[in-house]
Amino acid sequence: MILTADNCEKFISTIESLDGLDPFACRIISLCTSYNPHLPFVDYWTVFDDESNTATGAIARNGTDFILFLTDKTDIDEVSTFMRVAGAASVICSNKYSLDLFGYEKSQGPILVRKEELSESDNLRIDTPQIKEAYELIAKAADKYFTPPKFEDFYVDINHKLRHGTMRLLGLYDGNDLAAVAMTVAESRQGAVIGAVACLPKFRNKGYGTYIVNHLTNILVKEGRSVFVHRAENANKAFYDNLKFNCFDSWCEYHFKG
């Protein structure tokens, strides 16, 4: 049974009671904290067991992009049926669960986690950059694993989430030049997901990317959060190994054509 969740506080409490440390739970909690259920471009659902009426998972929609928080007790067939008629452009979830969907391309990769602080040997300048400044750097550093969204969409979303405290954005400066950025794309009471790590090509091989990710991770760990990264399958393995991130799970994303 899948029911609409229109009470944000109750919805988040239900998810946390299932597994607040799950990275997909973190993503859904962060989205719900940022955008309440009464806004037209988001929806939230709780998945229940038909017999016991206990919660077993959660679903969130942001535009045509869906996030699934699934557990071993979730009825995957029911969720698959729901998603086939939901009008999704993309669906992301744990790769532990195989959805029965049609007409998609699938990408996947490891989910990494770190729960401990690491020392910071240098004393480099870290600050919060302007959103436009950060976007320009991310766009210049984009590669085959990441295509930045349109600036207008990026600005509105980031500005809103920064004001609601559901993400943070840090920049590392070389003199007066913004050299690298790192940001969380989701934060909850128990976890955070790091994304959009970028360094300008001319500043690479100076350790700036490593420094800013370690700095951001240390801040989050000090606050009692587990820090997750959804890494592309064949990208940046040595980078995150060096930062002592460990394998936690794997993610998959279904992309639907037209």
Report yes or no on 255 lying in a domain: no
Say if 82 falls within a structural domain: yes
Express each pLDDT in 157-198 by its tens digit: 999 999 999 999 999 999 999 999 999 999 999 999 999 899
Same domain for 125 and 227: yes
Query: Could you tell me if 230 and 156 lie in one domain?
Result: yes
- Residue 253 inside a domain? The answer is no
The answer on 240 and 118 residing in a single domain is yes
Which domain covers residue 45, as residue numbers? 2-102
Structural domain contains residue 258: no
Pairing of strands 55-62, 42-48: antiparallel
Instruction: Note whether 57 and 15 are within 8 A (CB).
Output: no
Is the residue at 26 inside a domain?
yes
Task: Look at residues 69, 102, 135 and tell me which one is the last residue of a structural domain.
Answer: 102
Residue 254, pLDDT above cutoff 70? yes
Alpha helix segments (H runs only) across 20-150: 23-34, 76-84, 131-140
Answer whether residue 257 shows pLDDT above 90. Answer: no
Domain assignment present for 254: no
Question: Is the Cβ–Cβ distance between 76 and 70 less than 8 Å?
Answer: yes
Q: Mean per-residue pLDDT for 72-98?
A: 97
Calpha distance 14→22 (Å, rounded): 13
- Same domain, residue pair 124 and 61: no
CATH of the domain at 125: 3.40.630.30
Residues of the chain with pLDDT > 70, as a percent, come to: 99
113 burial class (0-12, 13-18, 19+ CB within 10 angstroms)? middle
117 and 64 share a domain? no
Residues 72 and 150 in one domain: no
pLDDT digits (tens, 9 = 90+) for 13-65: 999 999 989 999 999 999 999 999 999 999 999 999 999 999 999 999 999 99
Say yes or no to pLDDT of 142 above 90: no
Q: Are residues 207 and 81 in the same domain?
A: no
Position 256 in a domain? no
Residues 243 and 139 in one domain: yes
